[in-house]
Amino acid sequence: MVQVRSLARYLEAFAPLAYQESYDNAGLIVGDPDMEVTGVLVSLDATETVIDEAIAKGCNVVVAHHPIVFKGLKKLNGRNYVERTVIKAIRNDVAVYAAHTNLDNVAGGVNFKIAEKLGLQQVRILAPKTQILSKLVVFVPDNDLQAVLSAIYDAGAGRIGTYEHCSFRVGGTGSFKPLDGANPTVGEIGRDETVGEHRLEVILPAYLESSVVAAMQKAHSYEVPAYDLYPLNNANQEVGSGAIGELPEAMNLQDWLGYLKGQMQLNVIRYTPWRGTPIKRIAVCGGVGSFLLNDAVRAGADVFVTADYKYHEFFDADGRIVICDIGHYESEVFTKDLIAQHLSKQFRTFAVILSDTVTNPVQYFT
């Protein structure tokens, strides 16, 4: 039996809620965490129609990219589509989970899915986040070293990019004098003691500080382990906004626009004038991406693929780059495939179904 909380825990291991933007509302929005999952419907949005589809297909969980609730609801009387959706989900015991900007902000997330659709190579985060890493320094007696290492690794420390179990250690001598009331593992009350120790250093995500320290303390034999936690300003190359990569071969503008339209299944592309240079390096951001324009330019991108550009914002390209606005829904619709792929690999006791409902509120007359 798989409970909703297990489903949420798995999704949050890949896209931690700590990485969502401050305005966001990712996570379990509606539903009982202890409810058994009978089926999952994956959609870009959670709307009334999507809830109806989930009920019809025997799914009691909807996993969507966009949260149905962004602001606090003071009343639930069905006066708008948000309230009606929440009411319908509650009445029919359908849980609603959202993986939004936390899924945008991780390597392998939404923007990496766009890069995959475009066949980009050497893909990396466009604007890595800073101040989300910490360093733990702990002084460990020689006999405890492997136990402490294993414990903090299991708790999520020591991962850098595509490497794990990363640490630095150097041997030395620790000294202490137990006082009355102490219960020392080594030494005697009132006597100075020296012990062979290692200074152990590991990097960890800041949001895991409490769990990593707890794991260290449990594995450490000392009554009061000596340790330090330092906030780091290092850029975390695995977390941040947008993505950038290279096309296998350069294209001219017309070939690029045709390729983009076909790969992303677009009705229309709004774009700025081409500066005439070959198009090879592509920056992408699903949904609203204008805040990343200067990052894309600094990274040497020839094109910036994103959505929701306003008229005056297009002038900001200023001949430096081609902005391609492909629409919000269109830029993120393949997020459904990304989520479904992850869930299908992990869970085998229930169906994971892609929603057939087109939730795009924008229609095109062609």
pLDDT at 155: 98
Please enumerate, by residue number, every residue annotated as part of a binding site. 65-66, 104, 328, 332
Q: Compute CA 27 distance to the chain's CA centroid, rounded to the nearest angstrom.
A: 12
| Alpha helical stretches, state H, 105-142 | 110-117
**What is the Cα–Cα distance from 78 to 284, expressed in whole angstroms?**
37
Token code pair at residue 315: 């002038």
pLDDT at 72: 85
Q: Are the C-beta atoms of 90 and 193 separated by less than 8 Å?
A: no
Token code pair at residue 344: 């299908």
Task: List CB contacts of 145: < 8 A, sequence separation 6 or more.
Answer: 169, 198, 200
pLDDT at 323: 98
* C-alpha dihedral sign at 254, 258, 261, 267: positive
| Residues paired with 198 in a beta bridge | 140, 171
Pairing of strands 168-176, 193-205: antiparallel
Please enumerate, by residue number, every residue annotated as part of a binding site for a divalent metal cation. 65-66, 104, 328, 332
Task: List CB contacts of 206: < 8 A, sequence separation 6 or more.
Answer: 18, 131, 132, 133, 134, 231
Domains in the chain with CATH codes: 4-103+332-354 (3.40.1390.30), 106-128+241-326 (3.40.1390.30), 132-232 (3.30.70.120)
| Residues paired with 229 in a beta bridge | 136
**What is the Cα–Cα distance from 6 to 29, expressed in whole angstroms?**
15
Query: Comparing C-alpha atoms, which of 338, 247, 237 is closest to residue 284?
Result: 247
Per-residue pLDDT tens listing for the chain (366 residues): 899 999 999 999 999 999 999 999 999 999 999 999 999 999 999 999 999 999 999 999 999 999 999 988 899 999 999 999 999 999 999 999 999 999 999 999 999 999 999 999 999 999 999 999 999 999 999 999 999 999 999 999 999 988 999 999 999 999 999 999 999 888 889 999 999 999 999 999 999 999 999 999 999 999 999 999 999 999 999 999 999 999 999 999 999 999 999 999 999 999 999 989 999 999 999 999 999 999 999 999 999 999 999 999 999 999 999 999 999 999 999 999 999 999 999 999 999 999 999 999 999 998
DSSP 8-state class, residue 187: S
pLDDT at 310: 97
Pairing of strands 61-64, 39-43: parallel
pLDDT at 366: 81
Element at 56 (helix H, strand E): helix 48-56
Side-chain-side CA neighbours of 109 within 13 Å: the count stands at 28
pLDDT at 187: 87
